[in-house]
Amino acid sequence: MAVSNKDYPSLKGLKIEPKYVTPDDAEGAVNIVPSGATIVVVGANVNGVNDFIVLPALATVPDGHCITVVCNSAGMEIRTPSSSAEEINSEDCDGTKEYTVPAGYQVHYFTKINNTIGWEGHGFTAIGAAVNAITPD
């Protein structure tokens, strides 16, 4: 469901629509988060817990850009574009390492710091408890 100024007049025409992605074991159209996305809803994994979604390339979003990822219950991985050398939580996550989301419904937030540092990520469980810091491995 989209949120618009009809629902919240103070938004002055801003329209926020969730983007839907499906974790898969290969980078492709179904698992890439679009550059303009701010809310991402993750569907069921195609193959298993090693399936992943891919954050936008750093150069395609401004510093401070935030993405809320509403995760599925199965667990999955979050990566940066392949061969990009871009980082999540100070680790290169373009395929050899990844930000691993454990099983259980969770919400994870990713904020672009800049093109050099990359993304900062952290999460919360469905009951609002902070998830321990995730170091991609």
136 is a domain residue: no
Taking 70 as the threshold, does the pLDDT of residue 137 lie above it?
A: yes
pLDDT in tens, 19-39: 999 999 999 999 999 999 999
30 is a domain residue: yes
Residue 9's pLDDT band (cuts 50, 70, 90): low
**For position 11, what pLDDT does the model report?**
56
Q: What is the mean pLDDT of residues 67-84?
A: 97
Residue 16's pLDDT band (cuts 50, 70, 90): confident
24 is a domain residue: yes
As for how many domains the chain has, the answer is 1
* Single-letter residue type at 16: I
Q: Domain holding 39: CATH number?
A: 2.60.120
pLDDT in tens, 103-136: 999 999 999 999 999 999 999 999 999 999 999 9
- Tell me which residue range forms the domain holding 106: 18-125
Instruction: Report d(CA 42, CA 39) in Å as an integer.
Output: 10
Instruction: Report d(CA 96, CA 85) in Å as an integer.
Output: 10
